[in-house]
Structure 1
Amino acid sequence: MKHLKLIALALTLIFATACKEDKKETEQIIETEVEEVAEGTKTEKSITVTMSPKSDSNVTGTVVFTDRDGVVTMEGKFSGLTEGVHAIHLHEKADCSSPDGKSSGGHWNPTGQPHGAWGAESGFHKGDIGNMTANAEGNAEISLTTDQWCIGCGDLSKNIMGKAVIVHQGEDDLTSQPSGAAGARVSCAGIIE
């Protein structure tokens, strides 16, 4: 009986030692894989803002900004709009405190360009996103991808933090100065953390 206990004890020690070695090898493999993933990972920042109605409208929505290695994608979804075309811009200040949204200031224009269509050779504001079309139910979506923006970087001509997203009552004509004659501000959200 003593021999059986000794054999059982010896087998237990051998098994425990073997498991520890396997565990160490597994931990080393996992650490190596994590390092490889970390080295291959791209930088990504994301911020979601919630739109608030302005100018006695019912316009709400969300806008998600995602910065992947210096390229920002903006995805916006809105409801409560009147059917038709509506302008959307980034404005100077993340201040949506006034009932008409004018506390957000004018279009964000850090490079001193004239108002225009996004990407126009004649110039455009960094906040001149453009227009979107609301359907009969008052819903609209917009998407923009650009390397002209960043989230929280040190470049003041690109950093969208501290700005506001503004949806307008009407269409941006893309030529009228300084803002495209798009009418009242019907929804606002500050781009803040």
Structure 2
Amino acid sequence: MITPPYAKARAIPATALLAALTLAGCANMGKTPTTKLPVPDAHAPLVDARGADRGRVDIFRDTTGLRLELVARGFGAGTYGMHVHAVGQCNAPDFASAGPHWNPTGAQHGRENPLGAHHGDLPNLVVEPDTIGRATLQLVGSRLTGDGGVIDGDGAAFVIHAAPDDMKTDPSGNSGGRVACGVIVAGGG
């Protein structure tokens, strides 16, 4: 039988290993971390009708358009529609002030609609039991500012709805009431 090279390694006593790890940890104490998280180009803090924190969306420009990083807190297990809306207002209790979906090209609603979709149409958010909702979304060909950009004269908002989006019914996908909303603002906040 041939013994693989790694099988010849000498076992290190657990106490020696623990001591080495402890010293390595102490060597980095008080030092500033060398890696920094990227600063988003825009963000939207999400709140519910009572004003409670429901998460955040960070928006980054990338080579294909915009990348949205969502963290949604306080949602029960289930599937929720979510969209970018055309007006930068989130007036409780129903967030109707956020207006319709962001739709700079005048398309119909729905990622599965042959005549769609709005630029603001997004996949559904699926929250598993006992988890925080997370999603990374791409808005290919979309701009943050400028002609047809998300942040225009009246702003924009990110909205999470009470029910799943059916991905085809115009104008809103039958996604139900608006349960969380965040005004999209430039910068990392």
After TM superposition, the score normalised by the length of structure 2 is 0.69
Cross-structure match for 1:142: 135
Question: Secondary structure, in 3 states, of the residue corresponding to 1:130?
Answer: coil
User: In the aligned structure 1, how far is the partner of 2:53 from the partner of 2:115?
Assistant: 32
Cross-structure match for 1:160: 150
CA contact (8 A) 1:151 1:160 kept: yes
CA contact (8 A) 1:87 1:168 kept: yes
User: In the aligned structure 1, how far is the partner of 2:76 from the partner of 2:51?
Assistant: 9
Counting matched residue pairs gives: 145
Residues 184/87 of structure 1: CA separation in 2 closer, same or farther (3 Å cut): same
CA contact (8 A) 1:86 1:169 kept: yes
What's the CA shift string for 1:101-145, capped at 9, x where partnerless? 111011111211111117x64320011012010121252111112
User: In the aligned structure 1, how far is the partner of 2:117 from the partner of 2:141?
Assistant: 11
Q: Which runs of 5+ in 2 are unaligned?
A: 1-38
User: In the aligned structure 1, how far is the partner of 2:167 from the partner of 2:53?
Assistant: 22
Q: How many Å apart are 1:61 and its aligned residue?
A: 0.6
Cross-structure match for 1:182: 175
Cross-structure match for 2:185: 192
Cross-structure match for 2:79: 85
Please tell me the residue identity of whatever aligns with 2:67. Answer: T
Question: Secondary structure, in 3 states, of the residue corresponding to 1:76?
Answer: strand
Q: How many Å apart are 1:45 and its aligned residue?
A: 6.3
From 162, 165, 179, the counterpart of 1:169? 162
- Whether 1:105 and 2:99 are equivalent positions in the alignment is yes
Larger Rg: 1
Q: Higher helix fraction: Structure 1 or Structure 2?
A: 1
Please tell me the residue identity of whatever aligns with 1:99. Answer: P
CA contact (8 A) 2:44 2:157 kept: no
Cα-Cα RMSD: 2.2
Q: Which runs of 4 or more aligned residues in structure 1 lie more than 6 Å from their structure 2 counterparts after TM superposition?
A: none
CA contact (8 A) 2:40 2:58 kept: no
- Whether 1:53 and 2:48 are equivalent positions in the alignment is yes
